[in-house]
Chain A
Amino acid sequence: MKFSVNNEPVETVAQPGQVLRSLLRELDHFEVKKGCDAGDCGACTVLLDGGPVHSCLVPVHRLEGSSVTTVSGLGTVDAPHPMQQSFVAAGGFQCGFCTAGLVVTASTFTEDDHDDLPRLLKGNLCRCTGYRSIHDAITGVSNTVTASAGHAAGTSIAPPAAMRVVTGTEPYTLDVKTTGLVHLAVLGSPHPHARIESIDATAAEAMDGVHAVLTHLDSPGVHFSTGRHEDRNDDPDDSLVFDRVLRFRGQRVAAVVADTVRIAELALAAIAVDYEVLRAVFDPRLAREPGAPLVHGDKGPEARIAAPERNTVAEFHGELGDVDAAVASAAASVSGTWTTQRVNHVALETHAARGWIDGDGRLVLRTSSQVPFLVRDELCHIFGLEPEGVRVFTARVGGGFGGKQELLTEDLVTLAVLKTGRAVQYEFTREDEFTLAPTRHPMQVSVTVAATADGTLTALAVDQLMDTGAYGNHGIGVMFHSIHESVEVYRCANKRVDAQSVYTNNLPSGAFRGYGLGQVIYAIESALDELARELGIDPFELRRRNVIVPGDNFVVTDAEAQSDLSMASYGLDQCLDLAEAALDHSLTGPQGWQVGTGMALAMIATIAPRGHFATATVTVLEAGPEPVFEIAVGTAEFGNGTTTVHTQLVATALGTTVDRIRIRQSDTDATSYDTGAFGSAGVVVAGKALLVAAEQLRDAIASDGLSVGLSATADHDGTPRSVSFNVHAFRVAVNPATGEVQILQSIQAADAGVVLNPEQLRGQIEGGTAQAIGSALFEEVLLDGEGRVTTTALRNYYVPRFVDLPVTEVLFAETYDPLGPLGAKSMSEAPYNPVAPALANAIRDAMGVRSFELPMSRDRLWRLASTQQG
């Protein structure tokens, strides 16, 4: 068939049933992204004969004679389209994976369309920004600046990759051609709990184009965890590349490596498997009871599971003082049980990895990971490889939110590369993201709080139960984190904390923005809101009377606990004042709607505990009057904006401009080590190391002069750590007749230390707020009670669209943190945490009755209102 792409004639052969998106990528038009492959997200939008289409839904047989324009055909880095320039000027992206589709779509808009953007953008999903900056881009608002030499820090410069992102020329994980590439497809378990009796892959192996079929017979016997941390002992060793025992629906049974995805998938049907079906458990409350089917009953102490005989991967029980006595003598007390749902990250780029053997015989993996060094080290552990023989790197990653702090594709690709010697690719579908990739941990959190009549908190008790699913990846860390800063932020003489992380035969839970804090903060902040009502004290005032202040210890239940956490800076008081002052109590909704306000706070450590390490190097690449420097750093860029800040820190230290900085990053060859991009560590750990290296290089240049190759390397070990604070406030209107919520005002005040890039930080806070509004009002991964996910596509799992989100007023406390680079603190996870409880408290204020579960969907709120009336 013949058609044209970006005015270049194309003559090619396509498969029947193929779509334009996959054909364009076969033709190396990698600027066309796969977000969902189902028409829901818009990332693959191109112009077909001048009109915008989702190319994943365009059958190839309709292409004859047509003309296709991709984002790279609209404009180039040197000659960008006006809409591309606008997206750069506005800072209209974070990870940028949705941007190609957004730019193409918006390129068709006229000024008259600006009033119709909710409708016109409902088919373009962005998971990072919260859409405010996209609105600015489309309407021509500029938010970025150019900084003069030595003055980049503190200014809103655009990301270094901005022009490449908006023109589709910044490569993501799979946006590169590898000759001889073969593809991998996975046969998933049809049962939630079963043992493989036998597998016959003979027929599949014999099919044309099939290179290998991999099963548990090929699997190394080394147990590991898909969850990755600095210390591999932080997660239980409960997983295998292929396990003979299957513990959730969809778990790998076999994989086919074949010339194309189509052949690999067709071959899966030719694999015959006999299963012994085992009893399964789906309710974490039942899973810990005697007689429940054991998910990992076959594991011993070497697996580091707290109590496999009770399906308990981790637990904590502690008490300070006497909670019951304090409740008994309190002027007021409140108890309740709050539940949170499974939430999917919905990073627009799905998990994917490509692996090959390079010319030196090394195994190389290009993967969508937040933690390339941790992936390398664990692959070495599993396969008995030496670190020198393995290189793992990432290109720009299309969103993470914690979901890519997991080893989900790389182990299988490694096995396939080692077995076949071929270059192998494994790419998750969007359905895989919903059925295989870990979700946010669903929790049930019971809270009791009590206080004296003047509002002094005398009791705080938390009983937390979380479903970690079939595997314990992050099931220990999330549990401990969930009960730390959430409880520590309050001074209280009597505290009791119980927490259990329990295995079931549901799909695994994992790391998600906030890492467990958000669920428990939702419960505690809701309970405190009720307590304020009981006492007749303003909720801001109740917080002021009880939050920790400089000089206080961080106490969960051990008053004498010592750690590397310190209050190196403190802006919680400012955040409370800023949010309270910004609330406009005069705002009202439509006639008949109830109006209310609510607030909540959150504290988070600036760095994850138990070690976070980075080594970074700054080198002179070109000397002369206009020198060029290279920074080499291990941490990854996936929309967190870390790379922008890194260039700002280095340019500021070296007295130059950011365009003189070249970047090598997220590559085990780029530097000796980096724990990775999680716990919002990119600025405060890797950035701190880079700043020190740049300052050392500056001093070396001052003493030795500027010469090519001069370089400085510095480390940071992630300790001591400080704390950041966020306060969110909402004013809402609720229609009791339908359950609809209208957000009249959304305010977040953040204590992020010195703000290094105001526009980017605003974007992180808006994006965290957006994702949290999704969790609070809309999103829920549904299971059928037998471990089967029923929300397997974006059309059934609703992430917020342009129309759903308010513009959040973002306010910054003025603090300086001596531990962070130039006084900065981390701020990527934190903004998510106070949003759901603040919204729940506002809705409670409006309705006069409280919802105890997320999401607060329209049907639930309507039911709540009707129950109250009835």
Chain B
Amino acid sequence: MLVNTYSKRIFNIAYQFAGSYQEAEDLTQDIFLKLNNSLSKYDFKRNFSAWLFTLARNYLIDQYRRTKWEKQTRDDFNDHYLPSEAFENPEEGVVKEENKRTVWQGINNLTSEIRMAIILRDIQGKQYEEIAEIMSLPLGTVKSRINRGRLQLAKILKEKKERRNEM
């Protein structure tokens, strides 16, 4: 059944994109409603996962543009993500957790298109070709957006580290 197979992936993309748990649940429900109404339009020649992710991507970006989510904050990283298992070096573990929190919040500074590309590549681990299909963009554009997103996040991480060192 579609819900069993795809709900987790769609919900996680929605949460990573929107940053709000409640919003992500509502968005996931909307995406499945949309899927239910659009199944008749599915072209069997296409990869179903890519088609579904395209539908989810379009819906998420449209909603983002329409509402700008009327807020600029994301849930705190540890609201729903548990801290990773203990590291051999506790200090390294603290830095990694701090980095994750910073990068998680930094996603909010990315434009919707770059944000989606970064989520699909670096969090979901998809291939560039698949991302290009999902986002209906040329491969080169996808790669350049991902590069820009990583640079933006890296610069945010740099600023955060500098501020931490100043304290």
The answer on A and B forming one complex is no
Interface residues of B (CB under 8 A from A): none
